[in-house]
Amino acid sequence: MGADERAEGLWHVDMLGLDAVQAEGATGEGVTIAVIDTFINPDVPELQGADVQVRGSTCADPETGAPRQIVSDDPAHAAHGTNVVSMLVGTGQAGDGGPGARGVAPDAEVWFYGVGSLDAADPEHCALQDPTVEADGIDLTRDLSWFAGEVEENIQGLGDPTALAARAAIRDGADVITMSVLSGSSANWEQVAFESMIAEVPIVFGVLNPLRELMLPAGPIGTNGLFPVNAIEPDGRLLTDRETGKSSGMLSNNIAVAAPGDQLLGVGGADGWGPTLIAGTSYATPITAAAVALALEQHPEATPFQVMQAVLRTTGTGGAHDIEWAQDRLGAGYLNVPELLAADPRNFPDENPQWVTSLEDPRCVDAEGTEGHFDESNGLPRCHWTTGPFPEGLDKYRAVYVDGEPIMTLDEPIETPYSKPQTDAGAEAQTGREPSTVSSHLRTSVALGAVSLVGLAAAGVIVWRSAARRARSRGRSEERGEAS
């Protein structure tokens, strides 16, 4: 690939103002980004010197129990996941010494959770395994599941490997999660959404590409509280297939933001390794997650959800503004990194901007003007923005996962790995932790339910995560001479 073509593949560097923001010290240092994908080749030249840690696979061989190999030098397998990581922390230098893939947050720490081939993600080919469970920890393949609006035991180890990877990343302490593969049921991802809300770990994922519109949407498409990302071309238009005229993001109503995702300089394609142009929402997604990492680094006293508020309130070119979701699948607008870093997220609400708490929310109104409502046939909430989950479900899940309440089956209490003695006080008393603004807001929601209670087992993880983030934040603040 010639120098001119490589330069054209770095157009996002100019659009996002990366030269200036990185020169001013915004590099993602001290922030951990979890990547959920299929395979990775950490040995490509563009990742040498980057902090990339392969955390393991969520799939094992059902017969032998051997973990599925997710590190591969076969570009047919690993180009996708490796390109995703290069959008985060690529060094900008290819193996021939010329320009290479350049990451938005080159000093961030990347944790890679692999699932292997999605064609072999079914129980017949994939025995779920928790890749990072500690010896005395709770195995996420045998703890809880969420089905038909209820918390259940998961004694059979059922689930989805991508959703399991997201749960592991939350448990392990990632600051933000980026995912460019779609798999799993809505129930799998509702459970992930609950844990994301509780731990305040934003999950950014890519919407469907143009050529995938006829496929049955899988994974987190439509899940409440997550951050779907669409892709744009260099001229600002949605990523579009030239033959069909279809554009990306169809079937998605809750898109958060749009970011560069076409004609980007990557590390390889299915035919081989080396600088090549890549396209897809798969790459707009890590670019967005890396921008979140820059904001977390630069504003360590802000909460993750305040940072996500800032992402959606600084789109376009007009500085900070109220969130306005577009009707043309651009979400809140074009990602604007300089404006994001210039804004103080602490001025924004400490609540997830993508989380619909009421059927009266204008986002629940569909194109025909039908407002959010409860379905008379089954009593389930109907909202154009999302298929769920909703605060009532979060309340149920939190009670078991965090507060340690038993599961009630046929009026009989069943203990879970998170259960605690019923005589114990609530976790707010045990940990001294004040209820979050998100929790307080949900407690007062009148349309769909309330959120309450914090507890012991999972609360220990959450408190550990918060303490770790505060320690990292103090370190970043002290390095810049800021008050902690």
pLDDT tens figures, 106-150: 999 999 999 999 888 888 899 999 999 999 999 999 999 999 899
pLDDT at 80: 98
**Is residue 229 pLDDT above 50, yes or no?**
yes
| Amino acid in position 196 | S
Pairing of strands 257-260, 127-128: unpaired
Angstrom distance (rounded) from CA 165 to CA 55 = 10
Instruction: Specify whether 342 is located in the same domain as 393.
Output: no
Nearest to 290, CA basis, from 350, 209, 229: 229
Other C-beta atoms closer than 10 Å to the C-beta of 119 total 8
Could you give the CA distance from residue 217 to residue 226 in angstroms, rounded to a whole number? 15
Q: Which residues are catalytic?
A: 37, 80, 282
Q: Are residues 252 and 401 in the same domain?
A: no
Query: ω before 389 within 30° of 0 (cis)?
Result: yes
Give yes or no: residues 269 and 408 share one domain: no
Q: At which of 303, 328, 350 does a domain end?
A: 350
Task: Say if residue 309's pLDDT is above 60.
Answer: yes
* Pair 133, 68 in one domain: yes
Structural domain span for residue 21: 3-350
Same domain, 20 and 113: yes
Q: Is residue 366 part of a domain?
A: no
What pLDDT score does 475 carry?
54
Asked if the structure places residue 184 within a domain, the reply is yes
Same domain, 39 and 163: yes
Q: How far apart are CA 211 and CA 84, in angstroms?
A: 19
Phi, psi of 75 (to 5 degrees): -65, -25
> Which one, of 351, 399, 371, lies nearest residue 200 by Cα?
351
- C-alpha 348: how far from chain center: 20
Give 156's contacts (C-beta < 8 A, 6+ positions apart). Answer: none
pLDDT per position as a tens digit, 384-429: 999 899 999 999 999 999 999 999 888 899 999 999 876 544 444 4
* pLDDT-above-90 percentage for the chain: 73
Structure confidence at residue 217 (pLDDT): 62
Can you say whether the dihedral through the CA atoms of 59, 65, 70, 73 is positive or negative?
Answer: negative
Same domain, 345 and 208: yes
Range in 116-130, 162-176, 297-311, 318-332 the model is least confident about: 318-332
Residues whose CB falls within 8 Å of the CB of residue 7, separated by 6 or more in sequence, listed in order: 99
- 411-425 burial by CB neighbour count: b if 16+ within 10 A, else e? eeeeebbbbbeeeee
CATH code, domain carrying 169: 3.40.50.200
What single string gives the DSSP state of each residue in 360-425?
Answer: TSGGG--TT-PPPEE-TTT--EEBTTBSB--HHHHHHHHHHHTT-PPEEETTEEE--TT---TTSP
Secondary structure (DSSP) of 8-22: HTTHHHHHTTHHHHH
Residue 16 within any structural domain of the chain: yes
User: Looking at the predicted structure, is the pLDDT value of residue 318 above 80?
Assistant: no
Q: What average pLDDT score do residues 87-112 get?
A: 98
- pLDDT reported for residue 463: 43
**What is the per-residue pLDDT across 197-226, written as a single tens digit (0 to 9) for each?**
999 999 999 999 986 555 566 689 999 999
pLDDT at 461 over 70: no
Does residue 359 lie within any of the structural domains?
no
Residue ending a domain, choose from 298, 319, 350: 350
Residue 362 lies in a domain: no
Domains in the chain, number: 2
Angle, helices 161-172/186-199, rounded to nearest 10 degrees? 10
Does any domain span residue 384?
no
